[in-house]
Amino acid sequence: MDDGEIPVVMSGDGLIGQIGGALAETGHPMGIIPGGRGNDLARVLGIPKDPAEAVAVLAEHNVREIDVGVANERRFLCIASTGFDSECNRLANDTRFVKGNLVYAYSAFRTLASWKPATFTVRLDDRVPITFKGYSVAAANSRAFGGGMFVAPHAQLDDGLLDVITISDVSKLRYIRGLPKVFKGTHLNNEEVGEERARTVEISADRGFELYADGEHLTDLPAKLSTLERALRVIAPPAPA
């Protein structure tokens, strides 16, 4: 692209993630105008959903450097997750008759009806692998996914680390009761929810699962994940002090 030209993506997290991944390590900044169902990266970056207000952010031209996640050599910006989460994401993408963020709630209840716990193995850096039976594993570069679910409320976009959230096996009723907490990030208080942090993460399971990130199918298990530190420049409001 010519000097002075700035690509601006008006879309949801899927296309933003693809273009952001392509621009990583090029030095070219990317602008964002939220235009999807979830808009989670824009939410975390503080970019308004209103198009006029988002354009005003572009005009201010404040540039931030953020990390880019990598899973089996495929890049993403927000949260890579597998297990129950990836099954929900697949169903949400296939659903057309439910509008807006309600599609994520709908897909969760539909997936839960037939869900059976899986056994996951997670290796964080060079630590002893963790094996548990449960619902899901999420490796988070950002804090939110699924239209405002703060599954990894302590994740930072520029720390070079992935926040790893695991959910162990509990009754389906307890799982449902815990879902509203995710929108405030208070689910971490539940004993079945684990939180770790690492530079590299390896995930496998006892049955075949896809790995979804930025709302799209990224790769399949087993998966090895890491980050490209501050590899992408984005136009966004300044990070909170």
The Cα 127–Cα 12 span in angstroms is 36
Contact 21, 68 (CB under 8 A): yes
- Whether 188 maps to a domain, the answer reads yes
By C-alpha distance, which of 69, 40, 14, 13 is closest to 182? 40
- Does the structure show a pLDDT above 80 at 1? no
- Residues 135, 51: one domain? no
Q: CATH number, domain at 122?
A: 2.60.200.40
Bridge partners of residue 75, in order along the sequence: 70
- Residues 131, 190: one domain? yes
For the record, the structure tokens of 63 come out as 């540039």
More confident residue, 37 or 201: 201
The Cα 157–Cα 137 span in angstroms is 19
Q: What's the domain range around 218?
A: 78-224
- Whether 117 maps to a domain, the answer reads yes
Domain count, the chain: 2
Which strand (E) or helix (H) includes residue 94? helix 84-94
- Residues 220, 118: one domain? yes
The Cα 172–Cα 191 span in angstroms is 15
Residues with Cβ within 8 Å of 53's Cβ and at least 6 positions away in sequence, in order, are: none
pLDDT for the residue 109: 80
Q: Tens digits of per-residue pLDDT, 166-211? A: 999 999 999 989 989 999 999 999 999 999 999 999 999 999 999 9
- Does the structure show a pLDDT above 60 at 91? yes
Q: CATH number, domain at 17?
A: 3.40.50.10330
Q: Given CA atoms 109, 155, 185, 63 in this order, what sign does their dihedral have?
A: negative
DSSP state at residue 238: P
The Cα 224–Cα 140 span in angstroms is 13
Q: Tens digits of per-residue pLDDT, 47-64? A: 999 999 999 999 999 999
- Whether 241 maps to a domain, the answer reads no
- Residues 110, 128: one domain? yes
- Residues 172, 199: one domain? yes
Q: SS3 of 39, please?
A: coil
- Whether 240 maps to a domain, the answer reads no
Residues with Cβ within 8 Å of 143's Cβ and at least 6 positions away in sequence, in order, are: 44, 150, 151, 152, 153, 154, 155, 185
- Residues 91, 195: one domain? yes
- Does the structure show a pLDDT above 60 at 98? no
pTM of the predicted model as reported, rounded to 2 decimal places = 0.91
Contact 237, 62 (CB under 8 A): yes
- Whether 1 maps to a domain, the answer reads no
pLDDT for the residue 102: 65
The Cα 153–Cα 181 span in angstroms is 11
By C-alpha distance, which of 65, 66, 67, 57 is closest to 31? 57
The Cα 134–Cα 80 span in angstroms is 17
- Residues 30, 89: one domain? no
Q: Tens digits of per-residue pLDDT, 105-151? A: 777 888 888 899 999 999 999 999 999 999 999 999 999 998 889 99
pLDDT for the residue 108: 80
